[in-house]
Structure 1
Amino acid sequence: MSRTVRRKNQRHEYVWVLKDWDLFIKGGPSIRHDQHSPAGRKAIAIFHSDKEITMGSGAPRWYRKIFDRRRRTRNDRVMRQWLGNHDFDPVFEASHKHEANWSWW
């Protein structure tokens, strides 16, 4: 089912979309664009596009490599501890395809 059919009759709250975030982050006043102005239409178009960067992409490669290496190191440490002491009950961290992405956001 296409996205247009799913979202056909949805109504959106554009309060935070129309806010001028560049000015607000720099310490300026909180200004909202008019939804029919060129800046407001551009903000709404970016909101509805698939160009959002918040959750639209995965974690960067450098972060996934560090995350996986730390997990492997912890698992190796548990394995070595078990090899040295067979009474020790090893508990390993299982890997999951999206685990680094979940911790990134």
Structure 2
Amino acid sequence: MSRTLRRKNQQHDYGWVLIDWRSRIPGVQYPRHDSRSALGQKAIARYHSDSQVTMGSTAPRSYRKAYDHRLRTRNDRQMRKWLQDPEFDPVFEVYHRHDANYSWW
């Protein structure tokens, strides 16, 4: 199913998208861009593009690789302890495809 079809009737709240984060003064109401201005249109276009990190996206590849490496290392260490001492009761951490993403957010 295409993304266009999924989002056909979706409504967006652009309140936080149109905030001018660069000229924000602490303690004062956030200045906002007009949604029809050039800066407002640019902010909305960036929001709808896939070039930003959102809660729906995955963690960066470098983080996922490091996370998976740590998991494999821990499990390998447990296996080596068990091979040296058969009385040792190994506790392996189960790999799940989204574990790195859960820890990233």
SS at match of 1:23: coil
Count residues in correspondence. 103
- 2:60 maps to 59
- Partner in structure 1 of residue 38 of structure 2: 38
Segments of 5+ residues of structure 2 without an aligned counterpart are none
> Structure 1, unaligned stretches of length 5 or more?
none
Matches of 2:98 and 2:80, distance apart in 1: 27
* Structure-2-length-normalised TM-score: 0.73
Structure 1 counterpart of 2:53, one-letter code: I
**Contact 1:59-1:100 within 8 A present in 2 as well:** no
Secondary structure, aligned partner of 2:23: helix
Identify if the C-alpha distance between structure 1 residues 103 and 86 changes in structure 2 by more than 3 Å, giving closer, same or farther.
same
Q: Identical aligned pairs, as a percentage?
A: 56
AA aligned to 1:60 is: R
The CA deviation at 1:17 is 0.5
Length-normalised TM-score, structure 1? 0.73
The aligned counterpart of 2:89 is 89
